[in-house]
Amino acid sequence: MKKNKGSFFGVSLGVGHIMNVTVLALRVLNSVGYIAVPKSSLKKESEALSRMKKMPVHLEDKNIIEIYMPMKKEDIEEHWQAGARTIIDILSKGNDVAFAGIGDLLQYGTFHYLERIVQKEGFHTMYVPGITSYQALSESLNIPLVQGDEKLVLLPDDDVAYDEISGFDTVVILKKPDNLSLYKKMTETHKLFLGINLGKRGEKFGEIDNLDDDLCNLPYFSLIIAKKSKG
C-alpha cells in the first residue's frame, strides 16, 4: 500500500559528547529518505549536518535538504514559509522527512517554526527529544543541575531582572551571555559556570573566575549555569 502523505519528524541530535544522541533519534534518521537541516549562514555548513556526519547515520542513502534559517529577525517568517513549502512538497509525494537539529528541539528548537506550518496543512508531525546544552554542561562540570527541593529556571537569554531569578537554586541562561551587570549581582548569591562550544572544536567549560575576561568575545554556542551558593 502506498502512503499518501509523509510524516515530518523533529529529531534532536543532542549536544556535547557525540554519543549523547538517543537510539530513537538514530532510528528515525536512518528510516527516512529525506533529512532536512537548518543552516544559519549561506557560507558555512549546517552545524547539525556537521554533527550528524560523526554519527552512525547512513547519509549516503539520504537526500539532504539545507533549510536556510538565519538568526536575524528581518524576513525570518518568509524564510520559514519557504522552508516549510520545500518540506510540504516532499511530504505530499508520500515521503517521510526528518528535520535534524542540535540539542533538544523541544527547547528553543527551530523545528517548531516549520512544524506549525506543516501541521496546519494536515501532515503528521512528531518530536524526538534530545540532550540539552545545559545537561551537557552539567555533565562536563560533574555537578547535578537540581537535587532535593531545589528549583530551576531556564531562560533563553540574559534579558531579565535579578529579582525575578535570585530565589532559584539553579539558573540556566542560554545564548551568548553579555549582561555583565546582571552577572555581577548574581555572583553575590550564586556560583557561575560557563560552557563554550560543548562537543565542538574550541570546547571550554568551568567556573567563571573573572566576569569581564571570561564573558568577553564569546561564540554563539555559549551558556551559563548559576548555582546558589550554600550557607
* Closer of 80 and 214 to a second copy (Cβ): 80
Tell whether residue 224 is a contact of a second copy (CB under 8 A).
Answer: no
* Closer of 95 and 107 to a second copy (Cβ): 107
Tell whether residue 129 is a contact of a second copy (CB under 8 A).
Answer: yes
DSSP run (H or E) holding 138:
helix 133-141
Q: Euclidean distance between the first and final Cα of the chain, in Å?
A: 66
Contact 50, 91 (CB under 8 A): no
Q: Which residues of 129-151 are buried (b: 16+ CB within 10 A; e: fewer)?
A: bbbbbbbbbbbbbeeebeeeeee
The stretch among 19-27, 177-185, 186-194, 205-213 that binds a second copy (CB under 8 A) is 19-27
Tell whether residue 82 is a contact of a second copy (CB under 8 A).
Answer: no
Q: What is the DSSP string of 168-192?
A: -SEEEE-S----HHHHHHHTTTEEE
- Least distance from a second copy to the Cβ atom of residue 111, Å: 8
Tell whether residue 156 is a contact of a second copy (CB under 8 A).
Answer: yes
C-alpha 62/C-alpha 60 separation (Å) is 6
> What single DSSP character describes residue 131?
-
Among 71, 76, 126, 180, binds a second copy (CB under 8 A): 126
* Closer of 145 and 223 to a second copy (Cβ): 145
Among 76, 146, 180, 216, binds a second copy (CB under 8 A): 146
> Three-class SS of residue 11?
strand
Give residues in contact with a second copy (CB under 8 A): 14, 17, 19-24, 26-27, 104-109, 112, 125-131, 135-136, 138-139, 142, 144-157, 159-160, 164, 167-168
